[in-house]
Amino acid sequence: MLHRGFFAHAAVLGEGTTDGALLEGCAERNGVNLGAEGITFVDVTGRDNLLLSHAIRSAMGVPRHVIFDGDAGLEERKRGSVRHLDGENRRDKEAAFEQQARKISGSNADLLGYLGESRSPWPATGSASMYTVCEDNLDTSLGEAWPSWGERKQQLIDAGEGVSDKNAATYREVARTADGIRRACFRRCWRTSGGWFADTWAHPASGPVAGAQGALHWLRCAE
């Protein structure tokens, strides 16, 4: 089980619980217990808390990796939700959506700049030593990179074993049991050693390797 706390070999910081559930499910499908290996997932309850949470753990010397959503498609989705409205009401809501998008783009740039990366307001999906980002959001990335994700989630919902909203237990079970993740963004090897995370594609023959100062976690899956 993933723990939430300060004291660990390494911390993965995410905006919400579903990020950690996804990682835990991917690890469990290959017999890796992240908590037992010293990897703590920390739900910081929102993007605005990521930078401060990272800074605190940095000051404590805790190896850390940030997972966040770029939310590139959020404004368009919200605009679509009010297209049935007329006149001033619609314009007011669209103005609020535009303001929110500007805030998000600034937050993205600030976080990436703090992490020593280029200050991109709308980063593409990718992973670097200090962070992993989804261009839009986690669900969009999973839907594009892991086609069987949605199918397995719906199977669990239909069977009464899952729920349709962003539920950590459902995400964990889908990640643990869905068919192959050949192209999934989170099919990574994250190594915690000397205070940094390195991501690389995992080979299906690999397994977890623990070291004195960290752990090598192969979040691998069937081809």
Residue predicted with more confidence, 195 or 4: 4
- How far apart are the C-alpha atoms of 218 and 160, rounded to whole Å? 31
Residue predicted with more confidence, 8 or 43: 43
pLDDT at 81: 95
Long-range contacts of 109-115 (CB under 8 A, 24+ apart): 110/51, 111/47, 111/50, 111/51, 111/66, 111/68, 114/51, 114/54, 114/55, 115/54, 115/66
Query: 124 pLDDT exceeds 80?
Result: yes
Q: Mean of the pLDDT values across residues 187-214? A: 31
Amino acid in the structure at residue 114: Y
Beta strands, E only, 74-129: 126-127
Q: Are 36 and 27 in contact (CB under 8 A)?
A: no
Residue 47: DSSP 8-state? G
Model confidence pLDDT, tens digit, residues 14-56: 999 998 898 888 888 877 787 877 788 899 999 999 999 999 9
pLDDT at 136: 95
pLDDT at 196: 30
Query: 211 pLDDT exceeds 90?
Result: no
Query: 204 pLDDT exceeds 70?
Result: no
With left for phi above 0 and alpha for psi between -120 and 50, is residue 25 left, alpha or beta?
A: alpha
Model confidence pLDDT, tens digit, residues 57-67: 999 888 888 99
- How far apart are the C-alpha atoms of 195 and 62, rounded to whole Å? 6
pLDDT at 181: 60
Model confidence pLDDT, tens digit, residues 76-123: 999 999 999 988 999 999 999 999 999 999 999 999 999 999 999 999
- How far apart are the C-alpha atoms of 88 and 41, rounded to whole Å? 44
- How far apart are the C-alpha atoms of 174 and 98, rounded to whole Å? 34
| Residues ≥6 apart with Cβ < 8 Å to 147 | none
CA 113 to chain centre: 19
Closest CA to 73 of 125, 111, 117: 125
Tell me what the pLDDT averaged over the chain comes to. 78
Q: Mean of the pLDDT values across residues 164-186? A: 79
pTM of the predicted model, to two decimals?
0.79
Q: Mean of the pLDDT values across residues 147-166? A: 93
